[in-house]
C-alpha cells in the first residue's frame, strides 16, 4: 500500500517531495479540498526524473512529444470526465497508488466536467504527473486494478513526463500502453460494457486504445523485417564494403594484441567479432571516449577499456559482478540511472572529445530512437546498437553503414569468436548495427 512517508523512486533512483496538491491551484475549490485530504492521508511523494538533452530524434516528427502529447490527453479528456470519474472513485488501493489518490483524481475529473471548460494546459498535465508516475511504478497491477484511473492518469500526464524525464520516457510509456492495452497484452483489459449509458460511452477504453495505437505506430514503432531470413546477408551499404574491409585489415592485429582473449567470458555478452568492428571504427574516427548504455556483467565495458582512453557506462542497476570485474579498470566510470537521460548529460560534460556510443539497453525500437537522437550530437562519431537483426531493412533507411552479421564480414572475421563457439552452453552475441 502507498502509505505515509513512502517514497517511490524512478529507475534512476530519484525522488522528490513535491506534493500531489499541485492540482489544487488549477481546479475548483472542491478539488483543492479533495486533494488536500488525500495528501494528508496518504503522504504520497512525487518523483521527478532527470532532464536529458533537448536533442530530438529526427525520425520522431513532429519535432517533440510535446506536439502530440496534448493530442492524446485532449482527445481522451472528451470521454474521461463522462465515464471515468465514477469508475476511478471506486478503484482499490494498489502497491503504488492509494485509494485516496484515486478518489482525489476522480474528483478532479468530476469538477472539470462540471465546468464545461478545457483544462489549463500545460499546468493540467504537470498536476497529473505525480499520479502518472505512481501508476507507472506498478503499471500492470494498476491497469488491472483500475484501468479507467490508470489510463486517465497516464494520458493526462504524458506531456509533463516528456518535460520532466525527456522524450524517450514518453515514447516508452506509449509503447508499453500499446502492448498492454491496444494489443491485448493484458486480457483483463478486454472491452466490457458498463452498466447504463450509451454504447459509445461503454466502449471508452477501446477509444483510448485506438488513440494509443495511432501514437505508437506514428511515433514509436520501427518496422521489423519479415520472418524469413536470407541465406546470405549482403552489406547494408554495398558502396562501403571495400572501405570497411580495408579498415578492418588495418586493425585486426591491434585488436588481438589488446588482451581481449585473456578476459573471462560470460553469457549474453558481445561476441569478439562485434567488439572488433566497434574498435576498428573507433580507431578510424580517432575516438578516445566511449559511452555505453546497458552494462549487464561488464564484459563489453571491459573490452572498450582495453583501447579507449576513457569509458563511461550506465545501467539502471550495476551488478556486483560488473563492479568487481571493472574495479581494476581505472579508465572506467560506472553510473546507475537511465541511459536515455544520462548519456546526453555525459556528452555535454566532455564537449571537446570525439565519442562513440554503444547501446545494449534499452532494446529494440526504443534503442533505435535513442541512437538517432544521440547521433545528432556533433562530437559523436557513430552509435552502435546491439541485437538489431529484426530491423535490418529499416536500419538501412535510417543510415546504418555496417552490420556485424554481413556474410562477407563473418567469413573474414568470424574466427575471432572461436572462444564462444567452443562454449555452446554460453549464449552470446547479437547483430550489432552502426549508425553515424
Instruction: Cell 489510463: give the residue.
Output: 151
Instruction: Cell 449509458: give the residue.
Output: 197
pLDDT of residue 189: 62
Angle ∠(342,347,350) on CA atoms, nearest 5: 130
Mean pLDDT of all residues in 199-228: 81
**362: cis peptide before it, omega within 30°?**
yes
pLDDT of residue 6: 36
Contact yes or no for 151/177 (Cβ under 8 A): yes
pLDDT of residue 72: 55
Mean pLDDT of all residues in 48-77: 44
Least confident of 40-49, 196-205, 391-400: 40-49
| Confidence label for 21 from pLDDT (cuts 50, 70 and 90) | very low
Cell of 297: 556483467
pLDDT > 80? residue 193 = no
pLDDT of residue 44: 32
Mean pLDDT of all residues in 12-31: 38
pLDDT digits (tens, 9 = 90+) for 133-145: 999 999 999 998 8
Mean pLDDT of all residues in 45-66: 38
pLDDT > 70? residue 49 = no
Q: State the Cα–Cα distance between residues 415 and 178, nearest whole angstrom.
A: 42
pLDDT of residue 33: 40
pLDDT > 70? residue 100 = yes
* Cβ partners under 8 Å of residue 35, min gap 6: 20, 21, 23, 24, 104, 107, 108
Contact yes or no for 356/290 (Cβ under 8 A): yes
pLDDT digits (tens, 9 = 90+) for 228-271: 566 689 999 999 999 999 999 999 999 999 999 999 999 999 99
Q: Is 119 helix (H, G, I), strand (E, B) or coil?
A: coil
Q: What percentage of the chain reaches a pLDDT higher than 90?
A: 53
pLDDT digits (tens, 9 = 90+) for 163-187: 888 888 889 999 999 998 878 777 6
How would you class 24 by CB atoms within 10 Å of its CB: exposed for 0-12, middle for 13-18, buried for 19 or more? buried
- Torsion over CA of 21, 26, 30 and 31, rounded to 10 degrees? -50
**310: cis peptide before it, omega within 30°?**
no
Q: At what angle do helices 167-177 and 65-77 cross, to 10 degrees?
A: 40
pLDDT of residue 192: 56
pLDDT > 90? residue 281 = yes
Instruction: Cell 534499452: give the residue.
Output: 362
pLDDT > 80? residue 30 = no
pLDDT of residue 202: 56
Mean pLDDT of all residues in 198-207: 68
Higher pLDDT, 4 or 73: 73
pLDDT > 70? residue 45 = no
Q: State the Cα–Cα distance between residues 113 and 119, nearest whole angstrom.
A: 10
pLDDT digits (tens, 9 = 90+) for 408-431: 999 999 999 999 999 989 899 899
pLDDT of residue 40: 36
pLDDT of residue 414: 96
| Confidence label for 360 from pLDDT (cuts 50, 70 and 90) | very high
Cell of 398: 535510417
Among 359, 361, 433, which Cα is nearest to 397's? 433
pLDDT digits (tens, 9 = 90+) for 380-402: 999 999 999 999 999 999 999 99
Higher pLDDT, 195 or 368: 368
Angle ∠(415,394,412) on CA atoms, nearest 5: 15
pLDDT of residue 86: 53
Please spell the DSSP secondary structure of 220-285, one letter per residue. T--PPPPSPPPSS---SSGGGHHHHHHHHHHHHHHHHHTTGGGSPP-TTPPPHHHHHHHHHHHHHT
pLDDT > 60? residue 50 = no
Instruction: Cell 482527445: give the residue.
Output: 75
Residues 57-75: b if buried by 16+ CB within 10 A, e if exposed? beebeeebbbebbbebbbb
Cell of 53: 538533452
pLDDT of residue 334: 97
Backbone dihedral region of 259: left (phi > 0), alpha (psi from -120 to 50 degrees) or beta?
Answer: left
Mean pLDDT, the chain, integer: 80
pTM of the model: 0.73
Q: State the Cα–Cα distance between residues 50 and 41, nearest whole angstrom.
A: 28
Q: State the Cα–Cα distance between residues 123 and 106, nearest whole angstrom.
A: 18
Contact yes or no for 153/131 (Cβ under 8 A): yes
Amino acid at each position: 500500500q502507498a502509505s505515509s512517508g513512502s517514497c517511490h523512486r524512478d529507475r534512476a533512483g530519484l525522488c522528490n517531495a513535491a506534493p500531489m496538491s499541485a492540482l489544487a491551484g488549477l481546479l475548483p475549490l472542491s478539488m483543492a479540498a479533495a486533494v488536500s485530504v488525500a495528501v494528508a492521508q496518504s503522504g504520497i511523494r512525487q518523483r521527478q526524473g532527470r532532464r536529458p538533452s533537448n536533442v530530438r530524434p529526427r525520425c520522431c516528427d513532429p519535432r517533440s512529444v510535446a506536439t502530440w502529447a496534448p493530442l492524446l490527453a485532449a482527445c481522451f479528456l472528451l470521454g474521461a470526465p463522462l465515464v471515468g470519474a465514477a469508475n476511478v472513485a471506486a478503484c482499490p488501493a494498489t502497491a503504488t497508488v492509494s485509494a485516496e489518490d484515486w478518489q482525489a483524481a476522480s474528483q478532479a475529473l468530476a469538477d472539470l466536467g462540471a465546468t464545461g471548460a478545457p483544462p489549463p494546459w500545460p499546468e493540467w498535465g504537470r498536476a497529473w504527473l505525480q499520479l502518472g508516475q505512481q501508476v507507472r511504478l506498478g503499471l500492470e497491477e494498476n491497469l488491472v486494478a483500475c484501468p479507467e484511473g490508470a489510463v486517465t492518469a497516464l494520458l493526462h500526464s504524458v506531456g509533463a513526463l516528456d518535460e520532466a524525464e525527456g522524450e524517450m520516457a514518453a515514447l516508452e510509456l506509449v509503447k508499453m500502453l500499446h502492448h498492454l492495452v491496444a494489443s491485448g497484452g493484458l486480457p483483463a483489459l478486454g472491452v466490457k460494457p458498463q452498466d447504463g449509458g450509451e454504447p459509445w460511452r461503454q466502449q471508452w477504453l477501446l477509444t483510448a486504445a485506438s488513440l494509443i495505437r495511432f501514437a505508437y505506430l506514428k511515433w514509436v514503432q520501427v518496422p521489423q523485417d519479415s520472418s524469413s531470413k536470407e541465406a546470405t546477408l549482403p552489406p547494408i551499404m554495398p558502396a562501403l564494403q571495400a572501405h570497411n574491409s580495408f579498415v578492418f585489415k588495418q586493425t585486426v592485429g591491434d585488436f588481438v594484441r589488446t588482451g581481449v582473449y585473456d578476459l573471462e567470458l560470460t553469457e549474453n555478452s558481445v561476441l569478439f567479432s562485434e567488439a572488433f568492428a566497434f574498435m576498428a571504427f573507433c580507431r578510424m574516427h580517432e575516438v578516445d571516449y566511449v559511452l555505453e548504455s546497458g552494462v549487464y556483467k561488464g564484459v563489453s565495458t571491459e573490452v572498450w577499456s582495453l583501447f579507449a582512453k576513457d569509458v563511461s557506462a550506465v545501467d539502471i542497476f550495476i551488478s556486483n559482478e560488473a563492479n568487481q570485474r571493472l574495479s581494476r579498470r581505472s579508465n572506467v566510470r560506472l553510473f546507475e540511472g537511465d541511459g536515455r537521460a544520462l548519456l546526453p548529460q555525459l556528452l555535454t560534460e566532455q564537449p571537446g572529445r570525439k565519442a562513440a556510443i554503444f547501446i545494449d539497453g534499452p532494446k529494440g525500437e526504443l534503442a533505435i530512437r535513442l541512437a538517432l537522437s544521440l547521433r545528432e550530437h556533433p562530437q559523436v562519431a557513430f552509435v552502435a546498437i546491439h541485437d538489431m537483426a529484426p530491423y535490418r531493412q529499416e536500419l538501412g533507411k535510417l543510415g546504418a553503414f555496417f552490420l556485424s552479421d554481413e556474410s562477407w564480414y563473418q567469413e573474414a572475421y568470424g574466427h575471432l569468436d572461436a572462444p564462444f563457439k567452443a562454449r555452446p552452453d554460453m549464449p552470446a552475441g547479437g547483430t550489432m548495427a552502426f549508425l553515424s
